[in-house]
Amino acid sequence: MFGVALSINRRNFISIIERPKAVITGVISQFILLPILTFLLVWIIDPMPGLALGMILVASCPGGNVSNFFSTVANGNIALSVTLTAIATLGATFMTPLNFDFWGSMLPSNVGINAIEINFWQLFQTVVITLAIPLLLGLGFAYRFPKTTEIVKKPIRVFSFIILVGFIVFAFYANVHIFMEYIHHVILLVFLHNALALLLGYYFGRLTGCEKQDCRTISIETGIQNSALGLLVIFTLFDGHGGMAIVTAWWGVWHIISGLIVSTYFNYKSKTSLTIGS
């Protein structure tokens, strides 16, 4: 989050006023439609309790910072991507606990949601500590030391990515027996969940009349989630609950793969369109 903040500047927030439709569409897709879609998917598939909660938690998290990289590859709207990342990160301080608490409590009784207590304020405090504070520190650092920020932001982004990979590996190691037992369920669930999230973002953008470049970015912002935040919540508040951790950790692996595939496809389609247009 500190690294994300180093790439956020005043121009990103000015673009909210200049391009409100794409920004509003992205926020609605991320924080309203994705949790609803996830709830319906859980209701239909009826997975194990831990897996269901993991899916709800992933859908409640803000977009991941690697989404900016994927938007670049996809020839998407980079300014929109950074703006949505900034809004989602700031908004997640309240929206992540709210969505997880609301949709988690709405799950069918046969999912066994009551087996795990959801403490809204404890979750809120965790998100503030792990997300809001580092973000504000990063914004303050970038404002106070702009030249140093330009030098260190790329190495910090690489270092952050390495930490994310390490955190995912640790989550797998801590729950490897559960993963081996339920791998066939988890792979299918995450693949379907992530694919629907990417499609939701793109076609909701098309439905609202956004430009194709904006739709690519909205798709990526909706389908690339901050799995590291989800894992921190799981290990902090839910004692590393196996089912939740496996879904969230595998999402962290898969959304990098799917992000590369989708962004490369978008890149190809955009170049094809330019060739045809010329």
| CATH number of 236's domain | 1.20.1530.20
C-beta of residue 57 within 8 angstroms of C-beta of residue 100 = yes
Q: Per-residue pLDDT tens for 117-136? A: 556 677 677 767 766 788 78
Burial of residue 269 (number of CB atoms within 10 Å: 0-12, 13-18, 19+) = middle
C-beta of residue 215 within 8 angstroms of C-beta of residue 154 = no
Closest by CA position to 221, among listed 101, 107, 53, 66: 66
Q: Per-residue pLDDT tens for 151-197? A: 888 788 778 777 767 766 776 676 677 667 777 778 889 999 999 99
pLDDT band of 24, cuts 50, 70, 90? very high
| Listed range (35-44, 112-121, 143-152, 220-229) with the worst mean pLDDT | 112-121
- Say how many domains are in the chain: 1
pLDDT band of 40, cuts 50, 70, 90? very high
DSSP letters spanning 136-193: HHHHHHHHH-HHHHHHHHHHHHHHHHHHHHHHHHHHHHHTHHHHHHHHHHHHHHHHHH
The model's pTM: 0.78
Cα–Cα distance for residue pair 134/242, rounded to 1 Å? 27
| Pairwise pLDDT comparison (204 vs 108), residue with the higher score | 204
Cα–Cα distance for residue pair 115/55, rounded to 1 Å? 16
Closest by CA position to 75, among listed 271, 276, 277, 275: 271
Residue 77 belongs to domain spanning: 2-277
C-alpha distances out from residue 119 to 45, 114, 124, Å: 26, 12, 9
